[in-house]
Amino acid sequence: MELKEVPFNNVLVTGYSGLLGSWMSKSLLNLGCKVSGIALNDELDFLVDSFEIKKEIDESYFDISNKDAIDKYFSKNSFDLVIHLAAQTQVGDAILDPITTFKSNIEGTWNILDACKKYETPVVVASSDKAYGISTSLPYTEETPLKGVFPYEFSKSSTDLLCQTYRNTYSSKISVMRCGNIYGGGDLNWDRLIPGVSRWLLRNERPILRSNGEFKRDWIYVEDVVLAYIKLASELYYGNPDACNDFNFAGKDYLSVNSVYEKLCNVVLGRFVEPEYILNSDNEIVDQYLDSTKIKKLLNIESTVNFENGLIKTVDWYKANLVNIE
């Protein structure tokens, strides 16, 4: 699925300084695109800085839930394509402060969709496996109902329904990508399993797992996701009707937290370290993983990086950069 060129040039990446946004911006620049980026502030620019691409991105800082700011920004800029990644992504934060999550994820996406409708700009929207909420039928397909119950899940279900509304009502060119757990070098959210455990192990500290470790999830390497997004965006830009759709995208392995933890111990230290278990996973879905058949069948997009190789790349990044972060 390697790409050497793309049909578009001027791309807006919202949430450009996050994990996926930084890797996305780097790849688009390498493909010769002009990249503009929106972020709430510059507090998460470490990864962009480490890639030495900050000066190449036309950066803007404001809240996408501010419709006047979005309208003003789009009136002064012209884009071939928008990749909408900006969101409040933390399940715990959404429970503590649902209003902020709803404003960012629902109202922010609404503003982006409306601007793209006005200027007839194709947009790829980042969703999540959490949009499906809780379902007893696994793996989730795109036919699984969107029924998020808790605040973060609800925000992603609502986002996806907004995308369907704009597609069906205004014939907007919108692709939705629902991914599982994205991992890779540069994720500085230490509450997440892979970055948090990696840091503990590299510090020679005992890791903490906040569940019994039996929860099962998709795990997909960030560069795999970037390539899939760009391939999907290319098909959308070309006008392929199959691309104007909702898609799941996940790796080939469904792994439990305990299994991921054991593999991390092996990659970082070459030996197992007994973790401390703290059962603090209320309002989390026990098992959740995706079926990616649709995107493979319609657009020939699939995961190519196996979990172990992605994990080695991720740990290598933390080994090289952790001292600079702290």
Residue type, 14: T
Beta bridge partners of residue 39, listed in sequence order: 61
CA distance 283 to 291: 23
User: Do the beta carbons of residue 122 and residue 150 sit within 8 Å?
Assistant: no
- Dihedral sign of CA atoms 263, 290, 26, 158 in order: negative
Q: Tell me which residues are annotated as active site.
A: 152
The number of residues in the chain equals 326
The residue with tokens 């392995």 is 253
Please, what's the b/e burial string for 298-309 (b: 16 or more CB within 10 A of its CB; e: otherwise)? Answer: ebebbbebebee
Q: How far is CA 276 from CA 75, 164, 209, 211, 258, in A?
A: 53, 43, 6, 10, 12
